[in-house]
A = this chain, B = another copy of it.
């Protein structure tokens, strides 16, 4: 793929909307000199904000949209009201039309997933989509999926998630062979849910083009035991929110304790650079950019509460994926997996799935 790319941005998405997205695009424009931007949203609000960004301006085009999807709209409602004319729809549709190489939105996750599926359709051979995120670990970061796009998954879908997560990790971290683990309640082969055990058996026994590590447990995620952690959306969503809640709880306790006395406050000032290191290693703005996997096109979901720096990181992810040809890689990998599955009729899994929609 060429160095020069075009990204479409949903300028209305996120808690902070255009006032956050446009400065983010300006940061990204600095970081990536060969990238152009399509900005979808309310022109009256976007125009003066773009005028404030002289370096972005010559490389960005505003496309007016009448409708903005609210953060709490139901996906079905968003599809109905936002079809065709909302900034979110137009942002994704630009990828479909071939006008952009990737789309980024900080809007309503459910609505973005529903629209993206509707517009882009699934990659042939992939049954269900997954939302993948980056997870800070002791070794750096890992990809974890599914974070809630697909509630419940059978062995075949877990296999597809493994293929998609592996493709994302290799594009994102530049790894030749990222290691992949299946999230389970124990590392022994006899433990866990039937579908997880079956997926584990397939990953071990079929000669898939995947470096399969085996089962991993909840505490392996933070350790960074594998590059890619695979689970279905119910467990994945609860795991990621539990981790967020734990980090927030510890953060609050630390802050309360450090400001509880003059001495501890003084200590906190002296240890300030240490706190900055800690913050930077856990900083959500450095890990922003969930990926909607399984679609015929690249859609990056920035966190709803992103600031401009966080949103710029989500743009970085979109750039990495587009440059490294994520969609083509997944399509090729899944074709290979389906060919292997077809050669082993005794695997208890039916032939390759057609396009889901």
- Please report A residues at the B interface, Cβ cutoff 8 Å: 136-138, 148, 151-152, 183, 185, 192-193, 217-223, 231, 233-235, 237-250, 252-254, 257-258, 260-261, 263-264, 266-275, 277-278, 281-282
Contact = CB atoms under 8 A, between A and B. Distances in A.
A1 to B, nearest CB: 35
Contacts of A218: 237-245
Given A185-B234, A267-B272, A219 B192 contact: no
Given A218-B244, A242-B239, A263 B273 contact: yes
Contacts of A220: 245
Contacts of A252: 138
Question: Oligomeric state, in number of copies?
Answer: 2
Contacts of A242: 218-219, 221-222, 239, 242-243, 246
B233 A185 contact: yes
A317 to B, nearest CB: 22
Given A185-B237, A218-B241, A264-B271, 20 more contacts: A137-B249, A183-B238, A218-B239, A235-B235, A238-B238, A238-B239, A239-B239, A246-B247, A250-B278, A253-B278, A254-B274, A254-B278, A258-B274, A261-B274, A263-B271, A264-B273, A267-B269, A267-B271, A267-B272, A267-B274
Contact of A250 (B245, B247, B266): B247
A222 B248 CA distance: 8
A272 B263 CA distance: 9
Contacts of A246: 221-222, 242-243, 246-247
24 contacts: A138-B249, A138-B253, A185-B234, A217-B237, A217-B241, A218-B237, A218-B240, A218-B244, A219-B242, A219-B245, A221-B245, A231-B238, A234-B235, A235-B235, A239-B239, A246-B246, A246-B247, A253-B282, A257-B278, A263-B270, A263-B271, A263-B273, A266-B270, A271-B271
